[in-house]
Structure 1
Amino acid sequence: MKIFCLVTCLLMLALSLQVVYAQQPSVTEPKKESAEGFVKLEMPLEEALTRITFMYPSLKSGDLIGAIVFEGEGVTREKDYIKLKKPIKLRWTEEVYNSYYTLLSKYAVEGDRYIFVPLGVNGGGSGTFWNLNVVDKKTLKTIDEVGLGDRSRIEEIALADAHSDTVSITYIRREIKKGKPFHDPKKAVAKHYRMIEGILREVGNPLSPSDPDTIFIPVGNFDMGSRSNADDAEDDEKPRHTVYVDAFHIDRYEVTNAHYKKFVDANPQWQKDRIPEKYHDGDYLKHWNGNNYPPDKGKHPVVYVSWYAAMAYAEWNGKRLPTEAEWEKAARGDRYGRDYAWGDSLDSNKANYGENIGDTTPVGTYDMNGYGLYDMTGNVWEWCLDEYDADFYAISPSRNPLAGGTINGILSNWRDVRSVRVLRGGSWISNAKFLRVSDRTRFTPRVTNKSRGFRCVKPVTP
């Protein structure tokens, strides 16, 4: 009897639990999401390489050849590479010649969203031009590439960070000594690249933080100043001299009203009605209504800011103002020796100057320069860290020059600075003379007006 009662109780308990469970709302197991931006490759990497579509111009005619795919007739497969021979007929003649393409499958690497692979192009001459190509894993089409130069030997390409799609690549360029070509491993070139907003950018190191609002400027030499025979050059732009500048990151755009408002909101002492008189000339943020910038001007560069205010903003943002040398190297956009960032002739379609527009324009309105920077010419003058010295170029150090002290010294005591400071780049009201990348102007650090703004830099830390 006891056993019967026990069994009956257990059955009733099980039935009650089943009823209660049935009355509960159903719970669906959450789907496991892949890593942000991750794209699964639906085939082995080796197979995907043969389906990539490249668009390449003819080295002889300049015409787009069309879709280059490493499959079908003309393909040779080896252990470390795939080669394609493609006959090309010129449009204006019946001449046919062969172009050769080499895909280095040995060095292809797969990131979260992209495939990185070196590709060599030879139009039948003695030199092969190498490019590091970026392939969209969704479409298997190249979306960007960076040139590695001709007559190079790829040594290594490695995935440094899959999530940020960053790679490290090492290659050696062939040299000619005593009439004989050779590759010197001691002169290997090692660089790091990251995909940022669909564009392959060189970065300081493979693990450096990715900031889409800054551009990496590589270490190296450049010729600073104006040509001796330049018609518009002032004496303070001479002599032209070679300087070495360490690598750094620089803001892609000039600091905008919207950015600056975040600063004054977080630092009330720099608001329009609270800033100490010694840090401005009375017109600080003249165009603002109290603590608000003009309507529809959020993306315009902030103006009516003094050098002190620019320094305070940069410090709050973990950055600083650029030195003159840093600014000029970045502004030249890898076109060293040219009068303007885009070449030697003025172009009103590439900058806001001469009151052609009648006001500042939103940052990024005009084309970027060779480094990917906007408005390095025109829009607003940009404050630099340096003290102005008209004769500084005659005595300038050859490495990381800075007039008026040391970087650490200025950053530690900027509130006590009284000397005239440098501005660069010209503005929306400037005439053509002041748009040249070598032009220098200056004002006292308290001065503010409608054509002066700034952008910031951040050094590359080891």
Structure 2
Amino acid sequence: MIDIVQYKEILAEEPEEISIHMTKIGGGGFWMGTSEAEIERLCQEYDNSWYQNESPQHWVEIPDFFLGKYPITQAQWRIIAELRPIERELAPSPSRFEGDELPVEQVSWLDAKEFCARLSKISKIQYRLPTEAEWEYACRGVLRKPMTSKVSQEYWNKHYYESFHFGQTINDQTANFNTNEPYGTEKIGKFRGKTTPVGSFDSNNFQLYDMHGNVWEWCEDDYYRNYEEAPEDGSAWQQTEKQDAKVLRGGSWFNHPRYCRSSFRYVIDLDFQVDSVGFRIACSPPQISVNTYSLNIPRLF
């Protein structure tokens, strides 16, 4: 076996190649959530106690995993939607804003899980949604090399914590969001009023695109009001009984910048569909032998 750093899942080759690019997220530790001081500032500035759900800040160890470099596009969605259903039908063109390179939207958590199940069946790799801890760790992209030893919470907040992977502020040149409300020292910018093609803005240190804005992204986890007793191993936090409320991350084209922060958490029901919600896929490191490895595998057809 060899260490795979990236690969692509080829969905179609003609008339042009349509692939899902997967990239390795090296495991490591980080302080998930937001410090009490920052939460207090946010609650006061925006007169809203919602930000309390980003606490308590806690150390999480994330194992290696793979994550899609981009949100799932409409071209990718359409191919999988045409495959045989496993648990539910998928509309081939659910999105409000049409375009092959635009992120698919108006898809529910259940729809995203069906997409993963169909892709898993064909590819023999178990695709899923990222856990909430994986998503935040990947979004922050703090270090090019994993942090393998725990640092103090104070040290992390002083040297590594930032609101966005590109710094403490956000503007219309760094992400697609509702710029009618500026953040930090930024001024009101260009509000696009719709989704933009995936990869339109710079990536983070993990070579991931569109982690802030464009479309909200579903996570695997059930929603909890705070991080009390949250898993510390990066796994999905799910109740034993069925839970309808699921976690969303990243903000969207429609949302003000404070909702696009790396640690902001939102929640809607698992069957809800809206033009600001999409997803990207994740998986554990695939085991591919050296004899078959290439950037063009695994092949689906």
Give the TM-score, by structure 1 length: 0.47
Q: Decide which of 290, 303, 316 is 2:105's aligned counterpart.
A: 303
Pick closer, same or farther for the CA change 1:419–1:385 going to 2, 3 Å.
same
Name the structure 2 match of 1:369. 204
Supply the AA of the counterpart residue of 2:4.
S
Aligned partner of 2:81 in structure 1 is: 264
Aligned length: 231
Which is greater in Rg?
A: 1
Sort the Cα spacing of 1:242 and 1:271 in 2 relative to 1 into closer, same or farther, 3 A. closer
Between the aligned partners of 2:95 and 2:262, the Cα distance in structure 1 is: 29
Asked if 2 retains the 8 angstrom alpha-carbon contact of 1:251 and 1:456, the reply is: yes
Residue by residue, what CA displacement relative to the aligned partner does 1:307-365 show, whole Å, maximum 9, x if unpaired? 00001111222210000000000000126411111111223211000061110000000
2:65 is matched with: 248
Structure 1 residue 442 displacement after superposition: 0.3
Which structure has greater strand proportion?
1
Q: Give ranges in structure 1 of 5+ residues lacking alignment.
A: 1-204, 274-283, 288-292, 410-415
SS in 1 for 2:167: coil
Q: Is the 8 A contact 1:386 1:402 kept in 2?
A: yes
Partner of 1:340: 164
Corresponding residue for 2:33? Answer: 225
**Structure 1 residue 247: deviation in Å?**
0.5
Q: SS at 1:215's partner residue? A: strand
**Distance of aligned partners of 1:242 and 1:209 in 2 relative to their CA distance in 1, 3 Å threshold:** closer
| Matching of residue 404 in structure 1 with residue 238 in structure 2 | yes
SS across alignment from 1:270: coil
* Matched AA of 2:230: S
| 1:382 aligned residue | 217
Instruction: Tell me which moved more, 261-270 or 325-334.
Output: 261-270
Query: How far does residue 209 in structure 1 lie from its aligned partner after superposition?
Result: 7.8
State the superposition RMSD in angstroms.
Answer: 2.2
Give the deviation of 1:207 after TM superposition.
4.5
- Residue in 1 aligned with 2:94? 285
User: What letter matches 1:248 in structure 2?
Assistant: F
Amino acid at match of 1:285: P
Structure 2 counterparts to residues 16-95 of structure 1, below 5 A:
none
- Contact between 2:112 and 2:279, CA under 8 Å: does it hold in 1? yes
Q: 1:270 to 1:352 in 2, by over 3 A?
A: same
Contact 2:142 2:205 in 1 (8 A): yes
How far residue 215 of structure 1 moved from its aligned partner, in angstroms, is 1.4
Cα drift, residue 400 of structure 1: 2.1
**Matching residue within 115, 119, 122 for 1:317:** 119
Alignment-derived partner of residue 12 in structure 2: none
SS in 1 for 2:36: coil
Q: Report the alpha carbon displacement of residue 404 of structure 1 after superposing the two structures with TM.
A: 1.3
**What's the offset of the Cα at 1:418?**
4.3
What is the aligned partner in structure 2 of residue 188 from structure 1? none
Q: Report deviation, 1:267.
A: 3.1
AA at the equivalent of 1:271? L
Deviation at 1:402, TM superposition (A): 2.5
- Distance, in Å, in 1 between the alignment partners of 2:26 and 2:4 is 14
Give how far 1:266 is off: 1.3
> Are the aligned partners of 1:379 and 1:427 in contact in 2 as well (CA < 8 Å)?
yes
Partner letter of residue 363 of structure 1? V
Sequence identity of aligned pairs in percent?
32
Post-superposition offset of 1:245: 0.8
